[in-house]
Every structure is written in C-alpha cells, then in structure tokens.
Structure 1
C-alpha cells in the first residue's frame, strides 16, 4: 500500500478569526482557519487549504496587489512569507509583538504593520540576483499614537497612509519625507476609531468610530470674517483637514465592529455587534441596504474589486458569508461545526463525507469542492455515531438525545426515527450490509437494540455485556454483528440465526473501538492500554498484537505535572479503520498523531502529525518553565478583567462552565483525532480533529512544471521552436509567457493533421488554459473546422480527467458547450438561408426559360432551338 499521503484540504471549518482578503481579480476569498489559510474560489465553487501551518492561530493576513506574495501572521506576531502561486513558504519572521493590522501599499513596494502604538513600514521582499540574507528590511517606524493602532489605510498613490487608533484619533503619515508636510492628527470622535479611508481623489477622508459615528474630513481653509466688509473670506495659507460632515448610523445598543470602503463606487459597508450590516453611499450618506445576517458579532467585512460582493466573517459561530448586494443573494454561505466533531463516514463512492458533532448537527461535505451541501439539525443533543447504508443514499445517526435517525440523501429529509422503550443515550451504531437492520449501543444500558429499517419497530435486545457498549460493527459477509464493551470483552452475534448463545472474547483492558476486515474474517480491537489485537472470528483465537502506546503518545498538556511519556491519558486508540484490501489499518485517538500499521508484519508504516498549532493543548512535547506561575500555567489564567474595553471585561459566563452557548471557554481546546476513515477508493483518508475535518490524499493537486526552470522562454525562442515543428513545446512555452498574440500565433501554426498528437501529449496543467483560449478565440475566428478539431481531440484524450474533475473544469466546459451550440445554430441558419436561395434561383431559372420560349416563337425555328439548348445546358450545369 502507498503511504505517501499528503495534506489535501480542511473541511468542517471555514473561518476562525482575523481578517478576510479578496484576491485582486475579486473572484477568490482567503480566510484564516485555525493556524491555516483556506482559499474559496467563488466562480468555480471550489476550495482548498494551504498546506503550511503557523505556530498559532492566524490573526492577520495580507496579499500583495499582484497576488504573488502572501503574509500570514499569528497571535504572537510570528509571520510567514508565502509564494501565493506555488504555495511555498519563503521566509519566517518574528515581529515580536501582536500585530493589529498589516496592509500592502497599492504599488506593492512596501507594507505597513500595526504593532501596539507604533506603525512599522517594511520593504516588500523582491527577487534580485544578489543573495539576500534578510528579506525583510525595515523602511521606517512611525510613532505618535497614545493607544493601540486599530487599522492602516494606504492612499491610492502609496505616498501616505492613515493609522487609526484607540486614542480616539487618526493620524496621517507620509511614507517618505515630503516638503511642507507634517503628520496630521484627526480628532473629534468620542470613541475608538475602527478605520479610516481616503476617497478616490484623496480630497476627502472618512473616519468610522466604534460608537457609530462617521466623520467626513476635507482639506480646506477655515473661514474668517473681514472686519471692513463683514464677509467671510478664505485664507489659502491656513488650509488644514477639517470636519465637513457628521453622520450617525443610529443603531441603538450596537457597536461598530468593522467597516470597508469601495473607492470606485463610494460605497461603505459597516458591520455591527448585533449581526446587522449596513450599506451606505457616500458622501450623501444614503442608506442603500441593511440586513441582519447573524445573531452574533460581525468580526470582519471586505469588498471585492468590482464592489459587487461583500464578504463577512463571524468567529462566534464560525460563519463565512459572501453577499451580492445588488441582486440581494448569497454567493457563499458556509458555517462549520460549533463544537467538536465526534464521528465521520464516507459515502460508497467516496465523493461525500458526513460529520457529526456535539452541537447536534450533521453536515454533508463534498470532497471535490470542499463545501457543505446540507446540514441536518433534527437532533437535540450531541451525535456520537454516523454510518452510510450499503446503497449510499441512506444515512443513519445515533445521538445522546435517545434516538436513531435515518436520512434520505436524495430528498434530504429524516424519514425514520428509532427509539427504545426507555430513554437511553446511544453512543454507537452499526448498519446491516443489506440495509434492513440497524443496531445501536448505549452507555446507560448494557443491551444492544435492533430495529427494522422498513417498519421502524424494535425487533430485539441483545443482552450479555456487563458494561456500556462502546463500539459496534457488522461483518460484510455472513451477517455477523461484533460488539465491544467496557467490560473487557468483545462478542460476535448471529443476528439472523436462531442460536443466541455467544462466547465472549476477553481482553486485557476496556474495549474502545473495533473494526472488521472487509472479508469479514478478522477483527481489530483497540483497548484502553494502547494495544491493537487481532482476532479470528471463526476460530475465536488471537492472531496478532500491536503495542501502540509509544506511537500514539501525544504532547504534554498545560495542566500536566508529569511528562507525556509517563502520562497514560492519551495512550489509547479510539478509532480504527481498515483499508479496502485489508492489508493496513489506520488508528487515531486523543493525540496529535494518526498511525497507519501493516497488519501482517505488525509494523508502523507511517505516523502523521495532524496539527502543530500551539494554540491547542497537547501539541507541545515539552513545556516552557517560564510560563509557569504560582497560580498555574500562564495561558490558563483568566485575564478578562485586564481587558481595555468595557464589553471585553464584562463576564457573562456560567460558573465552572467550559463550553456551550451561554458560556465562554476558559480552558484551551485539546488536540485529538476523534474519528479516522479511509476513502472507499483508498486514495485518501479523513480525520475528524479539533481543528476540523482533515483530508490526506495521494493525489497532488499542485502539478510541478519543469519548463519554468529548464528553458529560457522568450517570444523569439518560442517562434523558433515553432519553425522546428516542435509544436507541443512551443504551445507550452507560449502559455508560460502568457502573451495572447504569441499563444494565438502558435495555436494556428499547428497543422490540422498534428492536432490529435499535440492534444494527447498536452500536460493536464495546461488543459484549462487551452480550453479557455479556444472558447474565447472561437467568437472572433473564421476557422470553424480547425477549432472543432481541437475541441474533439481534447475531449477524446482528456475526457476522463474532465469527467472526474468536472467541478474544476465546469466553467470551461460550459463555455465550450456554448461555443459549439452557437456554431451549430449559425450553420443551421446558414444552411436554411442557402436552401432558400437555391430554391429562389431554381424558380427564377424556370421563369427565365419560359420568357425565352415566348420570345423565340418569332425567331427562326433552328436558331431558337439551338439557343434554348445552349441555355438549358448552362442552367443545368449551374444547378
């Protein structure tokens, strides 16, 4: 079995905290998710998560105007410089302080960082032939603010920037020393300024404060009264920034949390603490739209380049919304689980994953797009187990609310609910391969309940265990049910047989999880002592043993007084899954590690670290002694009363509560892998972890292109290679140059007889770009047959890729279909008009012949007949 799985995507969480960023083209949205960054393509409806990780949760991100460099800064001020195109980390840097805001200048030469009361401007790292040992070079540090800087806004010419502060002022700084310019302070607000914006012509400045006030500033002279004429005159020598307008949002009891301004359309969007946002047109302050999109704070808002889409992030519920305000419709509406994930299951085709959580919700995720398809909220308590039926269109879930529910994934509804005779908390379930019977185990009762899926009636209760049932699994062959319990035994039940006598298979410790090999002959059992044992079902003997305590042993928690090596808290597997061929097994537990074992040799094949986020508990191997105080670990001490803002100091939590809707979490979340599952195809596996649903895959989506490094690509060399008749290489080089006229020239230089060969050898990485070029070029090109030959060749040789990744190539295929349909309609219309023209010509021929026959009656018979024969021959040939 191949073991070189790599991190592929992160589902189950779309926004954690920090700011959102649109790419310069306005079609892709970047969102911080824990210590990673996710990218959402809003046109093709796909998403992916960058593979790199910050040390802690990401606080701020910034993307250069050319979309080449990405800056990611965590809570402690440690930054990563990333090549956005190649998704590769270029440099690590530490600002040594919490970063409040970070913004690139419009010319991309500098970026400004808000650090406490200061603003630092750094030169943007750029490529040079000289080796640079310090990519980050500080340009200048700006001071003057008396409180923390909240935001930074650059002018359009990149000469000035505004630093908003909690000291109720905003200050204008110049990047370089400018004659006759001194840093200007804009004061007059009664609360902290959230952000400030330049107008497009830089003749006006807008400042927004937290108490809901909007001030407009203009650079003008104060009016003074002439003593002789008793008239107001302007003094040009005393020009300064003055308040020319005051507006208020009139949201009683609400605070402004964020704001964004679109220069081209003069549209301001403001997000409030009540979940309401408002859209205003400036400078008239006309209310365009107001809408409530959440019941909690809107933490960040951003506008794309065209000004059509508004992106909102709410960290309380992990919501991410993209709203098109002109059509009043959602472009994207995603929300992760509010609480920890407990279980997951793959559909039979491997294209969908369902996750269950303590928040009582089931979410169905598309593995290709990375988006949530549907959310089921019928359960009223935490969901502990979920399974797909054999057919794949029916799903079952077991909850602590005392019910099992069957879900129809075609109509997306709950069509059957199973309950016991008394109220029980179900913790595990198993579905018969035929889909006729469903079983569930409980932590309250030691019996196993069996229901009929067709009627919903309780068929039987299997008694025999002397402790809570922790795991259930059906054998794919023979209809045998395997159960594991805390009474240190596993039992094999013949559900459809008449004999109910079952001999237990005793274990050395409590059974936490079981898995049946696909052929139904071997059982894998995970026990509390960290061991994996393998049992033969038919003979009832143990055939293998793996001691995984050292493999699963995770990091040290902040409250631990002993090392992770001597701690037994995380030294046990709590979830098991066989591969499709049964040769390997994957296991995970309350640890940061997930292990894959070879069953036959009992060897560890590979161990994966699911997270290195230091914001989670259990990711560090050793603790830093300087963070230990007399009151305990420094990070566990409640510092709510030391916050600077009143609303942050107010404590509304329940005494002793650590999670839930009405409380604030006072303990750090702990890293764990609550469930692991292999895809039915064997090409990937999923881990339900504290940070979300992690997908590891064998397929590398980022294809390496060696032409970048090996060939000196210029227009002249590209055209010379065309003359040498190396058409494939020339086509690839033209795509790397990305010059439309070069691509056009190379494309039409390829002979029609070589199209099939070039299309067959074309790398997949250029398939999308070639389809895009053809769809655009067909509109203005007369070579119809030439384009149709290309389309036929590409669909013939790359049809499998286009079908498997139809979501990725959806827009290109739709454009091609539109072009082919247009050609078909034009040809049909042309043929119809030609047929009408031919009919007219034939009818006109008959009329002319009749007229000539009449005229020829007065002419000599021989001459007339000769003329008619000649004319008939000419018309006949023409016809």
Structure 2
C-alpha cells in the first residue's frame, strides 16, 4: 500500500511521465511514490511548519511545489528531496492551492485563505508583481491558462476570477450560489470549467465578456443517477422530480425534453449497449424503456415489482433489462414487449436488492442485497446457481463479474470487498478500506480490481491466489 503518513493525505498529483505520485499531508511533509514498486522513494520532504495542503510537479518533473498552512510556498528537488532555496513568503494566511505554469518557465501560482492570488518566480522565490486582490474570501483552487497569460481562481466568495498576469487585472465570473472549490482551463484555453457546492457544473467562455457558457441544469430536485452513452457523447440522468433527461456533451444542453411518465422518484438509469434506448427504474415500482432520440416511452411501463426499483441494467445483447427492487426480487424483462421473462427471481434475497448486473457472456446475473448476500442466477431459467454467497456482515452495495465470468466481486458497508469463485461459492476478503465500500469493478483483462470507498482512497487489488492489495491511490 502507499503508506507512510502519520496523518491524513491532503493532496496528490502525478508526475508528467506518469511513473510517480507526489502527496502531501497534515503531518507537514511531502512524499514521492514510485508507481512500479508502490513504495515511497525513501525520504520525506521536510521543512513546512504546518499542514501541507497542495502539491504539484513542474512540467519537466524535476521540481515539486508545495503550499502550506504555515503561509509559505516551497520548491523541492524531486530527486534529492531538498528544498530549493528559502520558502516563498508573502501570503498572510494558509496557502490552499498551487500550480506550475504549463510552459516550463518555472512560474508558480498560489491561492490563499488571505483572499489573494500570488504569482512567483520558481527559481528565485520572488513575487512577480503585487498580490492579486479581488476575492472576498479564501481562494481554494488556482489554474494557469495553457498559454500562461492568465490565471483562474476559485473562491469561497462564490466567484471565479480570471487574471491577466501582465496587468494584474481580473474579470469576475459570477453565477455560482455557493463555495466554488475547483477550476480548470480547457486544453485550448477557450473555456473554463468550475465546480461548486451548488451542484451544477458550469462552463465559461474565456472571452472579452467572459459570460457563463452553460450549466447542466433543468431539475427541480436532486440527481439520483447518471450514466454515459456508449459513444461518450451524451449523459443520461434521473431525479427525484420523477424525470429522466439526456444531455449533449458538445453543447452542454439538455436535448430539449424530459422523459416523463414515472409517478415517483427515478432512482436508476442505464443506456442500452447500442445507445438507442434508455432504461429507468423508479420508486413507483416500475421499469420503463425510452427511445433515446424522441424521449418517448417504448410501450407501457414494465409492471411486476411490489416496491421501489433500486437498480437496473441492460443485457449485453440489448434484448433484456434486469431490475432489482426493495421487494427483494430480481426481474428480467423483454425490452421489445415489456413482459417479464419468467417469474420474478425471489428465492434468494431476504431484503432489498441494491445492485445488479449481467455477466459479459449474457448467461448469468449477479445481485447484491441489503441482506448481506450475493446471488448468482441463470439469466434464462431464473434459477439460482448455488446457495447465496455469504460472508459480508453488512449490506452489499455493488457487484461486478470478472470478464471470464468465473468470479464475482462485491463491495459492502462492512468496509470489505470479497472476490467469489462462482463454481465453489468460496470467497477471499480484501481488507484495507476504513469506511463503506460503495463501488467495485474488474479491469478489462480481469487481473485487477478497483474499489471506491467513503474513506476516499481508490484502491487497486491483484486478482491472484493471494488476492493481496496491489496498491492504494490515496
């Protein structure tokens, strides 16, 4: 595992060649990790007197910059871990964010809780001009434009600012209603994307007017589920406002209509493999299939569940939809007729079915449940293949088949992953997460598993006889 800190990890970044990771911590240190060995290079970069909150590699990978709660910026030699010169002093409060200029001219920009942005010469540590003042609250994120002539900053004053480095003047980008915590330029420098606690992702034109370009807005309630189309050009989303919407990623606009028909929260959505249809599951106990291009329901709602539909998936061949419900059953539906294929699969789970998917070969279905078990089913007969897979001590939230369909991985609120041999029903626990594990997936070649958890680190595991943890991406 990528371990070595006495405290928590505050920031991580890849080296330009992708072979290393730099990380910072509240233990006041910076560390560099070798991705091949998953080990620290052997030394910590020490010198800061308080939490280190942000780190970044220089474009050539030879230097690392860090910003700290001790109000300073430091530059380090990547290979020796030694500080290059004295700390950069000028901020009057915590340094929250830091970035190198992309043109390798060794210019650094920093954002601080003192409400200012500072641009520095990375060689001398001298501030290039005055502090950039204009924000009325902490600056949380900073980014250079690709041509290095501008800097964008995001703040807890709910505003973005774009600064002209040569003049120190800025233009405010207003529209967010809550803290803005992330900002980035597009590769061509013509747009800025920002993230905020007010939920919508906003895209802005970097032009004279700097008007907001668009937001993915349209809901009266909150978003419950999202999925990409197979070709990556669209997103489908569902909401507690009972609707489904499709968004064009090129225009960042809804296609112009909402898919209406459900009578309660829509909790799960999925594109068909060919992208022409969308399936949705709702608290109204029904499943619906929609035409992606017209937004019209394909036939009547699929009725059969006796409680909320929690999870939904298409079969790889597009002909079937499988749904899992709070009524403890799994249903397989014919997408062309809307009829249930056989009886509901109900001889297995004793509580809500929370996660469900088809095997890659279309022959099996796996389901996870709040009853702490995993069940594998024959997709054609509906018969349970063996006993319930037992071993978790809390709800199973996510399940996935291995590409060769011989194994199933499950993620649970017991903080553990399990990998099951379908033929024997035996499992190996993968322990390391400290909080709920909510997502699991196999790599395409089946040799690794990736997991996501409320404890933040993404963990990568070897699928081998020992099933030891491969590495942690803190």
- Tell me the residue number matched to 2:438: 673
Contact 1:588–1:674 at 8 Å: present in 2 too?
Answer: yes
Which has the higher Rg, Structure 1 or Structure 2? 1
Helix, strand or coil for the counterpart of 2:420?
A: strand
Match of residue 195, structure 2, among 301, 309, 314: 314
- Tell me the residue number matched to 2:93: 148
- Tell me the residue number matched to 2:465: none
For residues 253-302 of structure 1, what are the alpha-carbon distances to aligned partners after superposition, in whole Å with 9 as ceiling and x for unaligned? x8866666779886565545565444455766777x65446443333546
For structure 2, the 5+ residue unaligned runs are 463-474
- Tell me the residue number matched to 2:181: 299
Contact 1:80–1:89 at 8 Å: present in 2 too?
Answer: yes
After superposition, residues 127-526 of structure 1 pair within 5 angstroms as: 135-138=80-83, 148-150=93-95, 192-197=114-119, 205-209=129-133, 267=150, 269=152, 271=154, 273=156, 275-279=158-162, 281=164, 291-292=173-174, 294-301=176-183, 308-309=189-190, 311-316=192-197, 317=199, 319=201, 324-325=206-207, 383-387=266-270, 393-400=276-283, 404-409=287-292, 411=293, 413-415=295-297, 418=301, 425-427=308-310, 443=326, 468-474=327-333, 480-484=341-345, 490=346, 505=347, 509-510=350-351, 512=353
Q: Partners in 1 of 2:422 and 2:146 — Cα distance?
A: 62
Contact 1:340–1:690 at 8 Å: present in 2 too?
Answer: no
**C-alpha deviation, 1:205, in angstroms:** 1.4
Contact 2:20–2:35 at 8 Å: present in 1 too?
Answer: yes
CA RMSD of aligned residues (A): 6.7
- Tell me the residue number matched to 1:859: none
- Tell me the residue number matched to 2:390: 548
Q: Partners in 1 of 2:20 and 2:213 — Cα distance?
A: 26
Contact 1:211–1:255 at 8 Å: present in 2 too?
Answer: yes
- Tell me the residue number matched to 1:218: none
**C-alpha deviation, 1:207, in angstroms:** 1.3
Match of residue 599, structure 1, among 393, 403, 422: 422
For residues 557-588 of structure 1, what are the alpha-carbon distances to aligned partners after superposition, in whole Å with 9 as ceiling and x for unaligned? xxxxxxxxxxx4x2x53555556765444433
- Tell me the residue number matched to 1:247: none
Contact 1:342–1:358 at 8 Å: present in 2 too?
Answer: yes
Contact 2:23–2:55 at 8 Å: present in 1 too?
Answer: no
Helix, strand or coil for the counterpart of 1:117?
A: coil
**C-alpha deviation, 1:81, in angstroms:** 1.5
**C-alpha deviation, 1:117, in angstroms:** 2.9
- Greater share of residues in strand: 2
TM-score of the two chains, using structure 1 as the length reference? 0.37
Q: Partners in 1 of 2:41 and 2:452 — Cα distance?
A: 30
- CA 1:210–1:671 in 2, change beyond 3 Å: closer, same or farther? farther
Contact 2:324–2:331 at 8 Å: present in 1 too?
Answer: yes
Q: Partners in 2 of 1:108 and 1:522 — Cα distance?
A: 47
Q: Partners in 1 of 2:349 and 2:285 — Cα distance?
A: 31
Q: Partners in 2 of 1:676 and 1:108 — Cα distance?
A: 31
1:73 and 2:18 correspond: no
Contact 1:83–1:89 at 8 Å: present in 2 too?
Answer: yes
**C-alpha deviation, 1:413, in angstroms:** 3.6
1:125 and 2:71 correspond: no
Q: Partners in 2 of 1:100 and 1:533 — Cα distance?
A: 44
Which of the pair has the greater relative contact order for Cα pairs under 8 Å at 6+ separation? 1
**C-alpha deviation, 1:394, in angstroms:** 1.0
- CA 1:356–1:608 in 2, change beyond 3 Å: closer, same or farther? farther
1:573 and 2:396 correspond: yes
Q: Partners in 2 of 1:334 and 1:582 — Cα distance?
A: 37
Alignment: residue pair count: 439
- CA 1:118–1:424 in 2, change beyond 3 Å: closer, same or farther? closer
Q: Partners in 2 of 1:53 and 1:579 — Cα distance?
A: 28
